[in-house]
Amino acid sequence: MQKRVLGNSGLQVSAIGFGCMGLNFGYGPATDRKEAVALIRAAVELGVTFFDTAEVYGPFTNEEVVGEALEPFRDRVVIATKFGFDIESGKQGGLNSRPEHIRQVVEASLKRLRTDRIDLLYQHRVDPDVPIEEVAGAVKGLIGEGKVGHFGLSEAGVATIRRAHAVQPVAALQSEYSLWWREPEQEILPVLEELGIGFVPFSPLGKGFLTGAITETTQFDASDFRNVVPRFNADNRKANLGLVDVLGVIAEHKQVTRAQIAIAWLLAQKPWIIPIPGTTKRHRLEENSGAASVVLTQEELATIQAALSVATVQGERYPAHLQQLVGR
């Protein structure tokens, strides 16, 4: 697989990474551990070198699976994880980015990941009670000790990015970005380009919607968080199918899939964008990874842009209580 570099950081990764969250968290029942380990190792075989996890996924179990899966390949891969929440009685609590807490999380994550360093450490969500300069300073200290390689932010706003970057260079910002969530284009992408920061879009397939496998009648597992996402109520799903239809026409013409078109579109936006689609299925992993070799022509990109210009995506991407945690 082709490689890309996260901004000016020098951190080189596969053009498409693997978001591991869904193996244990968020999208229904957890995948059998042996199957999850096998899937992650299959990604390595396909040339994926960039793996994303977080202590809160599970909590803890996702890091444990990633650590077990990647231990034999540690020097061939880049592991990213995140801090930023209190975890109480095995459940996600409130925000916590106090420097002493960051250090505790890193020590615990290192053990679960079976490694001596975290290649990319993200603040999972901005903590309004802790100045970002203190957060960046804490990570800078861990980088100096060799326990962390690079600093990242997730779902942070422009002002926070600038303030953090002034203390410790930010290698990457992770936020949602896809054909049906393009808000980062307004302010985030220009700032990242100016500062030389890479961009790691999660949910590049619109939480599965852009694949065409989800319709207004689809029923999600009771533990699937899409049940509370406004964009996924039945009426909004029905209203948003027009964009999926356009992807289908282009995909059929190129003899690829809608998912591959959606990922290829992201790759075409900037050379420092590295999407991290997730899956629990081997054939979807192969499909997503194959998008790295799909090149969209200027005519195809123009067709997609024309469809986007007239398509108004219905529904918010988060329920209100989660929306409050982003863009700070």
What pLDDT is attached to residue 91? 86
What pLDDT is attached to residue 71? 98
In order of their start, the domains of the chain are 3-323 (3.20.20.100)
For 162-172, how does the pLDDT look when each residue is reduced to its tens digit (9 = 90+)? Answer: 999 999 999 99
- Is the model's pLDDT at 103 over the cut of 90? yes
Residues 291/263, Cβ–Cβ less than 8 Å: yes
In Å, what is the CA distance from 243 to each residue of 82, 180, 284?
A: 32, 8, 21
- Is the model's pLDDT at 139 over the cut of 90? yes
For 255-268, how does the pLDDT look when each residue is reduced to its tens digit (9 = 90+)? Answer: 999 999 999 999 99
For 204-252, how does the pLDDT look when each residue is reduced to its tens digit (9 = 90+)? Answer: 999 999 999 999 999 999 999 999 999 999 999 999 999 999 999 999 9
Look at phi and psi of residue 24 and say left if phi exceeds 0, alpha if psi is from -120 to 50, else beta: alpha
Band (327; pLDDT cuts 50, 70, 90)? confident
N residues, the chain: 328
What is the b/e burial string over 169-204, where b = at least 16 CB atoms within 10 angstroms of the residue's CB?
bbbbbbbbbbbbbeebeeebbebbeebebbbbbbbb
Mean pLDDT value of segment 311-318:
89
- Is the model's pLDDT at 321 over the cut of 90? no
Residues 23/31, Cβ–Cβ less than 8 Å: yes
Mean pLDDT value of segment 165-192:
97
For 64-101, how does the pLDDT look when each residue is reduced to its tens digit (9 = 90+)? Answer: 999 999 999 999 999 999 999 999 878 898 999 999 99
What pLDDT is attached to residue 162? 98
Quote the mean pLDDT of the chain: 96
Mean pLDDT value of segment 149-167:
98
Mean pLDDT value of segment 1-21:
98
What pLDDT is attached to residue 144? 98
What pLDDT is attached to residue 123? 98
What pLDDT is attached to residue 152? 99
Q: What percent of the chain has pLDDT over 70?
A: 100
What pLDDT is attached to residue 311? 80
- Is the model's pLDDT at 1 over the cut of 90? yes
For 282-308, how does the pLDDT look when each residue is reduced to its tens digit (9 = 90+)? Answer: 999 999 999 999 999 999 999 999 988
For 14-61, how does the pLDDT look when each residue is reduced to its tens digit (9 = 90+)? Answer: 999 999 999 999 999 999 999 999 999 999 999 999 999 999 999 999
In Å, what is the CA distance from 215 to each residue of 220, 237, 256?
A: 11, 6, 20
Nearest to 170 by CA among 149, 197, 203, 145: 197
What pLDDT is attached to residue 325? 86
What is the b/e burial string over 299-328, where b = at least 16 CB atoms within 10 angstroms of the residue's CB?
ebeebbeebbeebebeeebbeeeeeebbee
Which residues does the annotation mark as catalytic? 57
